[in-house]
Amino acid sequence: MPCSRCKKEGHNKRTCKMETTVAELKAEPKVEPEPIKETIPAASSLSGKAILPTEVVQTPEPASEPSPQESDPLDDLVQLFGEKCSTTEMNPLAAYHSAFSTAFTRTVQGFHLVNEAPIKESIWENLNAEIFNAAGCAVSSKSDGGHKSGADIVCSLGAISNKSATYEKDAHQFKISSYRLTSLCSEKDPSDPAAICAEINNRKNYDYYSIIVRTETPATYTYDWYLIPSSCPALNPETYIWTPSIGAKGKKKDSTIGWKTNVVNGSYMTITFSMSSQLWMNFYLTEEYRAYVVATASAPRERAYTYSQLAELLARKP
């Protein structure tokens, strides 16, 4: 008996309908499933009003980020200025790091071929100028040992103030002398902290301190070269609280004999009127400040040649 639906023999109405439905489903285009939706109740109010559902659409989690690559050596260098950058436009020191290290080591070792005395401030300016030039950081001027306060060298990095020191307290601290402030403060006129801080900062016409700090053993000198921004908090008098130093005995008992500051992260400053009102800056090496070391070099204390021997040796060259 033919199907009343499709008129085919052997079909019945129920079987025909199922086959038709299957065929229609196969012909339909594939539809991507919609994102899974959950409903979470919104916070109810205290008035007892009905809670309306709020739809939250679950989105796929982002792909995990690739593991970071090893840092560029320049990224470590730029910590000198407390900022992360890797371009010479942002940090001019980055262009000279390797060259500074090489030039510093060669200069220190060359100096001690004929000199047993350590490198101190009187010779450091000339040696530092040689290092800058050898590293491609052109020097445009230097003070040639003049005692006028302020910049000693002007080079491609900017203006430089040269200092030398020896390590104290197991190489955790050193101190450097700075301006003589007799025209501002003395036993006759102690002045005041605001005027002292203003005068010190007004005299800063340089961008960096270039400090060579040494450790001595019976056989060896070891030097660290620091390039420290002149704005470094430990070298800024306004970082501290200044109080008068009072004499404890003799004619100066109970009189103001200078100035001293509180200690901030191990660093502090002093001024002593009897020493031409010399400013001394005691610099404590926190982990942050150790990053200011540009290069390190060692040399034997015993010289290899006298000046005469060196001249004779060079004269033998063809």
Per-residue pLDDT of 277-317, as tens digits, reads 999 999 999 999 998 999 999 999 999 999 999 999 999 87
Does residue 103 or residue 90 have the better pLDDT? 103
**What is the rounded average pLDDT of the residues 224-241?**
96
> Which region holds residue 10: left if phi is over 0, alpha if psi is between -120 and 50, else beta?
left
What CA–CA distance (Å, rounded) separates 185 from 299?
42
Residue 276 contacts residue 185 (beta carbons within 8 Å)? no
**What is the rounded average pLDDT of the residues 76-86?**
38
Residue 228 contacts residue 235 (beta carbons within 8 Å)? yes
Q: Residue 41: its pLDDT value, please? A: 43
Report the 10 Å Cβ neighbour count for 2: 11
Identify the sign of the CA torsion 127, 130, 134, 139. positive
Q: How far is CA 257 from the centre of its chain?
A: 37
Q: Residue 247: its pLDDT value, please? A: 92
Q: What is the β-pairing status of strands 256-261 and 268-272? A: antiparallel
What CA–CA distance (Å, rounded) separates 59 from 280?
63
What CA–CA distance (Å, rounded) separates 30 from 16?
24
Q: Residue 67: its pLDDT value, please? A: 46
**What is the rounded average pLDDT of the residues 241-247?**
96
Per-residue pLDDT of 24-78, as tens digits, reads 434 445 545 455 444 434 433 333 333 334 444 444 555 444 444 444 433 443 4
What CA–CA distance (Å, rounded) separates 93 from 95?
5
Q: Residue 9: its pLDDT value, please? A: 60
The pLDDT confidence band at residue 170, using thresholds 50, 70 and 90, is confident
Range with the poorest average pLDDT among 52-56, 153-157, 218-222, 263-267 = 52-56
Per-residue pLDDT of 195-223, as tens digits, reads 999 999 999 999 999 999 999 999 999 99
**What is the rounded average pLDDT of the residues 127-144?**
94
The model carries a pTM of: 0.70
Locate the domains of the chain by residue range.
78-315
